[in-house]
Amino acid sequence: MNTFLFLVSAALLEVGGDALVRFGLKSGKALGFILGGILLFGYGLLVNLPKWDFGRLLGVYIVLFFIISQVTGIVFFGESVPMGRMVGGALVVAGGICMMVWK
């Protein structure tokens, strides 16, 4: 379970860092770039702490990143999720489940 929490935290850091960089680009404020860079560095450290093999680690991580990024897009950027992204996302989640079940 600790690995799952590490990966969720890493996804939150990456999505948050990306959102801050986006804010910096749109607003021209350096603070977005600085804070975004700090969060992205934290993501890089955190995502590599679990002792899983690299392919499985990032494969499962991508599922969490996808889900958190969609929620962030909806909540903070007012985006909608089109059908193609929902179907593709379902495939991503199914792939992650396969990686969790079959080690």
Place of tokens 């770039």: 33
Q: Give the per-residue pLDDT at 7.
A: 87
Q: Give the per-residue pLDDT at 34.
A: 97
Domain parsing of the chain, residue ranges? 2-101
Q: State how far Cα 85 lies from the chain centre.
A: 15
Q: Give the per-residue pLDDT at 19.
A: 92
> pLDDT in tens for each of the 103 residues of the chain?
588 888 899 999 999 999 999 999 999 999 999 999 999 999 999 888 888 888 888 888 899 999 999 999 999 889 999 999 999 999 999 999 998 888 7
Enter the pTM of the model: 0.81
